[in-house]
Structure 1
Amino acid sequence: MNDNVLTFGVEEEFFVVDRDGHLSSAGDAVVDAADEEQGELQQELTRSQAESATGICTTRDEAERQLTTLRGELALAAARRDCRLLPSGCPPSAETALPVITPNPRYERMAEHFGATARTSHTCGCHVHIAIPDRETGIRVIDHVRPFLPVLLTMTANSAICDGYDTGYASWRYQQWSRWPSAGSPPLFTSLDHYESVVEGWLRAGAILDRAMIYWDVRLSEKQPTVEFRFADVAATPGEAVLFAMLIRGLVGTILGSAGSPAKLSNEVLRAQIWRASREGLSGRCPHFRTGDLAPATDVLDDVVTFAAGALEETGDLDFVRDGCARLAAGGCGADRQRARFEKRRRAEDVVDLLAERPWMR
């Protein structure tokens, strides 16, 4: 393996639900009670959520070990409270009440300032951090990776069933999350100053309360020297989260090792492309990152792997990523599996049972 391998980390958000599959208010208690031998466990915006974060990782095995352990600890802590941990981008079951905001001054201020956006944008995502040497390099990565965002969303879509019905989207979470004023695809930046000028404009307008609310699909982390990819639904399994992270790292490595200017893709067109990806997922058609023309999403994903093959080979991840993408193409992404289970009896409870299974703990 290359000694200059890019380090990375993965954050995952989960719902905590009761035995009937409805949102519980035990999320903060679950986080507090779970063991934390490696990585980090955190409370989220609402009390029906829990979050985990790996430490700095170098290899996929290291990341999968941490993600599996963190999920397992949260799942066991939830079970002790007669609850279940649910890796889904949106809650499958219909709820009769709004989720309870976690009693934290920042979260309470967000709920007051953003109203229904904060109280009804109830979603769980997966965030991947890739190390960068400086923020200017991060801007370069953001600019170059933009055309790949639609197909990357198709492979991670895991929120087709929400509020007790089939939404018609593979990633309904992406649509819900995009209601935040600072969310969505990043523009094509001309410089780090350009990036900062937009953030400053948001702060002056009150569209964000602090820099932690920069919610672009790809952003510069405010806490670590990383680029953070934050558009994906939480993965159904730790293995699928690692597959996503390794492909992201391969893309960033490829971008950093190449010259040239980023594609002149307007944000209006990119938004439309991501909308298509969020609707159809991996089983549908997706705009190709080179041409913008629609093609089977699985074919576009294969082309992404080919594009990043050199960097993936350097880290020893090429076969892992190829095999993982082939399994997704054959068995469907998380949204496909949600929809297949729901269509048998049209019961959201069945989707909850599917998502709450823990074969990765055996």
Structure 2
Amino acid sequence: MTAQTLGVEEEFHLVDPATGALAASSTVADAAVLGQAGPHVQPEISTTQLETATGVCTTLAEVRAALQETRGEAVKAAQSDGLTVLAASTHPSSAVGDLVLTDAPRYRVMVERWAGLATGQDICGTHVHVGVDDLDTAVHVMDRARPWLPLLLAMTGSSPFHQAADTGYESWRTVWWSRWPVSGPPDQLGDAAGYRDVVRQLVASGMVPDGSQLYWDLRPSTHVPTVEFRGADVCTDLDDVVLHAALCRSLVAVLARDTAPAPQIRPEVLRAARWKAARAGLTGELFDPATTELVPAGTAVRSLLTVVRDDLDERGDLDEVTALTEQLLARGTSAARQRRTMHRTGDAGAVVRDLLEVGGTAV
């Protein structure tokens, strides 16, 4: 099996384009709930957020074009109330008190179940769906992709600030999201039956109503035949989204064909590797699944490229993905850029303006 299809979901903050401040808009949120904000625009739990979802793509060129289209739709939806969208996982100066719940049954149910976890959800992420043949294949891939999830996270950090403070992390979103009891890397499941049994037990415990509310960093989709990578921050630069999607797809393709036993990595070790990736991003050392040791970030990233190299080459994507990888390693993540801008200007507004320019959402 070779995974061919791709789809990308991105979540954005709504901001005032003049001041850069986080902005709630019931007008935009209600339009999204009613399906009137654009064919690829969806609501999110807060009226300060929007989500977009591309259609099914088969090439990286299609992914790039689809992302340009969906980001454009999100900007147009936000402009209906004088706003625009910010491609970053946290806002540099917002406060949780700024959040207003989107008026939709789905979100009221979430607040009833999760209480303060849901009402304080001021973070945004990127989700990549990769097509698979069936649930057994999805679980086979998940069990083998677990060790690579921290590295994929480290390449996407865009949330160094929270509540107007520098958190010291490249992905504070990961730390914030870790409070949810159904988040983080999944444990090994074995096969489709093992996955169904875990879902059954979690439903019986009252934790979730079904598998759609398992917020793991990697999970089978419950509505389309895909495995869904959910651990990434929002990539400000479109190049980084394309890179992330390409790596996810080739990793799925390679691991789906892997007949070796799944790597035996303790969940405690994997959580530690995830924390390390959220803390340092590409600025320090990362856990290398190939050696089970800490190595320089660039070494870990190139190790992943080695794993997926043949698949990328078969698709004709190797040169583009290699160039995008080296570009990212040279300039750093969005989080690193945000921190440099803040240190240079001391102005959260300047950070937002720079993000809008890089993300192509400035108006």
Q: What TM-score do you get using the length of structure 1 for normalisation?
A: 0.94
Identical-residue share of aligned pairs (%): 37
| Corresponding letter in the other structure for 1:54 | T
Aligned 1:53-72 pairs, distance under 5 A: 53-72=53-72
Aligned 1:189-338 pairs, distance under 5 A: 189-338=189-338
Partner Cα separation in structure 2 for residue 212 and residue 251 of structure 1 = 23
Displacement after TM superposition at 1:151 (Å): 1.0
Q: Is contact 1:23–1:99 with CA below 8 Å preserved after alignment?
A: no
Aligned match of 1:7: 5
Partner Cα separation in structure 2 for residue 263 and residue 101 of structure 1 = 41
Which range moved further: 170-179 or 77-86? 77-86
Aligned match of 2:45: 45
Which range moved further: 251-260 or 312-321? 251-260
Cα deviations by residue, 1:296-329 (Å, 9 ceiling, x for unpaired): 1121101101110001111111111110010001
Partner Cα separation in structure 2 for residue 23 and residue 209 of structure 1 = 32
Cα deviations by residue, 1:154-209 (Å, 9 ceiling, x for unpaired): 10111112221211110000111111111111001122222222222222222223
Q: Is contact 2:273–2:287 with CA below 8 Å preserved after alignment?
A: yes
3-state SS, counterpart of residue 300 of structure 1: helix
Partner Cα separation in structure 1 for residue 226 and residue 100 of structure 2 = 32
Aligned match of 1:24: 23
Change over 3 Å in CA distance of 1:335–1:149 after alignment to 2: same
Which range moved further: 58-67 or 5-14? 5-14
| Corresponding letter in the other structure for 1:147 | P
Partner Cα separation in structure 1 for residue 310 and residue 83 of structure 2 = 44
Q: Is contact 2:341–2:351 with CA below 8 Å preserved after alignment?
A: yes
Q: Is contact 1:153–1:231 with CA below 8 Å preserved after alignment?
A: yes
Structure 2 unaligned blocks of 5 or more: none
1:160 aligns with 2:150: no
Displacement after TM superposition at 1:210 (Å): 3.5
Displacement after TM superposition at 1:8 (Å): 1.1
| Corresponding letter in the other structure for 2:23 | S
3-state SS, counterpart of residue 11 of structure 2: strand
Change over 3 Å in CA distance of 1:221–1:96 after alignment to 2: closer
Q: Is contact 1:218–1:231 with CA below 8 Å preserved after alignment?
A: yes
Partner Cα separation in structure 2 for residue 307 and residue 193 of structure 1 = 28
Q: Is contact 1:15–1:85 with CA below 8 Å preserved after alignment?
A: yes
Partner Cα separation in structure 2 for residue 65 and residue 278 of structure 1 = 29
Displacement after TM superposition at 1:98 (Å): 4.3
Q: CA RMSD in A?
A: 1.9
1:353 aligns with 2:353: yes
Displacement after TM superposition at 1:359 (Å): 6.4
Partner Cα separation in structure 1 for residue 319 and residue 138 of structure 2 = 27
Displacement after TM superposition at 1:133 (Å): 0.6
Partner Cα separation in structure 2 for residue 119 and residue 127 of structure 1 = 21
3-state SS, counterpart of residue 282 of structure 1: coil
1:101 aligns with 2:101: yes
Q: Is contact 1:147–1:289 with CA below 8 Å preserved after alignment?
A: yes
3-state SS, counterpart of residue 290 of structure 2: coil
Change over 3 Å in CA distance of 1:75–1:273 after alignment to 2: same
Partner Cα separation in structure 2 for residue 99 and residue 360 of structure 1 = 25
Q: Is contact 1:147–1:290 with CA below 8 Å preserved after alignment?
A: no
3-state SS, counterpart of residue 97 of structure 1: helix
Displacement after TM superposition at 1:107 (Å): 0.5
3-state SS, counterpart of residue 130 of structure 1: strand
1:140 aligns with 2:143: no
Which range moved further: 137-146 or 342-351? 342-351
Partner Cα separation in structure 2 for residue 112 and residue 23 of structure 1 = 25
Which range moved further: 166-175 or 347-356? 347-356
3-state SS, counterpart of residue 128 of structure 1: strand
3-state SS, counterpart of residue 42 of structure 2: strand
Aligned match of 1:123: 123
How many residue pairs get aligned? The number is 357
| Corresponding letter in the other structure for 2:50 | A
Aligned match of 1:172: 172
Q: What TM-score do you get using the length of structure 2 for normalisation?
A: 0.93
Change over 3 Å in CA distance of 1:160–1:361 after alignment to 2: closer
Q: Is contact 1:188–1:266 with CA below 8 Å preserved after alignment?
A: no
Q: Is contact 1:21–1:93 with CA below 8 Å preserved after alignment?
A: no
| Corresponding letter in the other structure for 2:19 | D
Partner Cα separation in structure 1 for residue 60 and residue 84 of structure 2 = 27
